[in-house]
Amino acid sequence: MDSRLLLQLLFAALATGTLGAAVGTIVGQRRRAALDRRIAALHGLRGSADAAQTSVGDITLRRTAKRRSLRGLLERALGIDGPLVDTGGGACWIAAALAVAAAAAALWVTAVFAGLPLPLGLLAAGAAALGAARWRFTWAQRRTVARLLDQLPDAVGLVVRAIRSGIPVAESMRALADSMPAPTGPEFRRVADEVAVGVDLEAALWRLAERSGLPEYRFFVVAVVLQRETGGDLAETLGQLADVIRKRRALRQRGYALSAEARTSVWVLAALPFVAMGSLYVLSPAYVMRLFTTPDGKMLLGLAAFSLGLGLLTMQAMIRKILA
């Protein structure tokens, strides 16, 4: 069998396997999201009382969901459909710049360097632009969630001190919003504003827990809700919760410290091919330049880049799953 045909078949097999894995992951995430929605509907809704507490923004979004389905698909593709994603002017300009740079690089690699047809180059450019913009928004969302988790123990401590001073829980949310920096302060200010316009405190806190996506916020909401229903010393309960959150945060940071070697190994392994290629270029430039001048060399180079990127993504996903 021709070596070039064998490389093409190998590349097609890798691409098909990657596409199948991506489709399987997306299907699994959708099933999990649907299950989470069903659980929330069973445990979070309590008849018409909760229906009356639905905010005006939720009603508006439901009414306009069908009319902006294309926009919704674009937002999901870019990863900006989450409530904690920063879509301000600066973030959008950075994402647009990254998208343009990624599209230009992909177009040059596919159409100019590899000599592929222009439609394939445009398709690769569009995929690269979408991936770069999504990476920017996903990175910003993860940073916001990490800051929420870091600030939560101090926020719970402020609520404990406010309750021990005789301030009601609803009023302590306003004091917390004025005292804490972003992103915790604005999120609790939203809770206080919802309570001020008539939304039940429990419903507003559950929305906050859903927006954050952190189990620690769910612990906080459960503690407040149970105290309202059964009574008890809320300050003592929240004080113990703050200690538990600090211990969980310390344990997570320890996990990051213990995985530092593995995360460093990822970048070392990623740099080794470039170091080896640079060394070979110094020893024999003509030998290395065959990768850039011959069709077989370009195919090998593309296959190596694809394999390297797939390996890096797999290792990052494994490390992130272990630390989650």
| Residue 24 in tokens | 């399987």
Quote the CA–CA distance of 200 and 44 in Å, as a whole number.
13
Instruction: Report the candidate in 218, 222, 216, 224 with the shortest Cα–Cα distance to residue 242.
Output: 216
pLDDT of residue 274: 92
Do residue 266 and residue 168 come from a single domain?
no
Q: What residue numbers bound the domain in which 82 lies?
A: 47-257
Contact 140, 91 (CB under 8 A): yes
In a domain, 203, yes or no: yes
| Residue 239 in tokens | 């004080």
The b-or-e profile of 28-41 (16+ CB within 10 A means b, else e) is: eeeeeeeeeeeeee
Domain edge (last residue) among 204, 226, 257: 257
Which residue did the predictor score with more confidence, 53 or 113? 113
Using pLDDT thresholds of 50, 70 and 90, give the confidence band for residue 13: low
Q: Give residue 88's identity as a one-letter amino acid code.
A: G
Note the pLDDT tens digit of each residue in 30-89. Answer: 666 666 666 555 545 443 334 334 443 443 344 444 445 667 777 777 777 666 766 666
What's the mean pLDDT in 222-244? 86
Q: Give residue 133's identity as a one-letter amino acid code.
A: A
Instruction: Report the candidate in 19, 138, 15 with the shortest Cα–Cα distance to residue 77.
Output: 138
pLDDT of residue 60: 37
Contact 216, 245 (CB under 8 A): yes
- Provide the CB-side half-sphere exposure for 267 (13 A, CA): 4
Using pLDDT thresholds of 50, 70 and 90, give the confidence band for residue 100: very high
Tell me the whole-structure pTM to 2 decimals: 0.69
Would the pLDDT of 270 be above 70? yes
Instruction: Report the candidate in 270, 289, 269 with the shortest Cα–Cα distance to residue 281.
Output: 289
Contact 263, 245 (CB under 8 A): no
Do residue 102 and residue 180 come from a single domain?
yes
Residue the block writes with tokens 């002017």: 89
pLDDT of residue 91: 78
Note the pLDDT tens digit of each residue in 121-134. Answer: 889 889 999 999 88
In a domain, 102, yes or no: yes
Do residue 226 and residue 299 come from a single domain?
no
Structurally, the chain folds into a number of domains equal to 3
Do residue 122 and residue 185 come from a single domain?
yes
Q: Is the dihedral of CA 160, 166, 168, 174 positive or negative?
A: negative
Do residue 153 and residue 70 come from a single domain?
yes
Do residue 183 and residue 209 come from a single domain?
yes
Residue the block writes with tokens 């604005």: 186
Do residue 134 and residue 164 come from a single domain?
yes
pLDDT of residue 19: 59
Instruction: Report the candidate in 254, 314, 271, 321 with the shortest Cα–Cα distance to residue 21.
Output: 314
Which residue did the predictor score with more confidence, 252 or 43? 252
CA distances from 181 to 76, 176, 272 (A): 28, 9, 42
Which residue did the predictor score with more confidence, 286 or 61? 286
Mean pLDDT (the chain) is 79
Would the pLDDT of 240 be above 80? yes
Note the pLDDT tens digit of each residue in 151-187. Answer: 999 999 999 999 888 888 888 888 888 889 988 999 9
Do residue 29 and residue 159 come from a single domain?
no
Contact 199, 51 (CB under 8 A): no
Do residue 147 and residue 272 come from a single domain?
no
Quote the CA–CA distance of 303 and 10 in Å, as a whole number.
9
Do residue 83 and residue 192 come from a single domain?
yes
pLDDT of residue 20: 61
Would the pLDDT of 18 be above 80? no
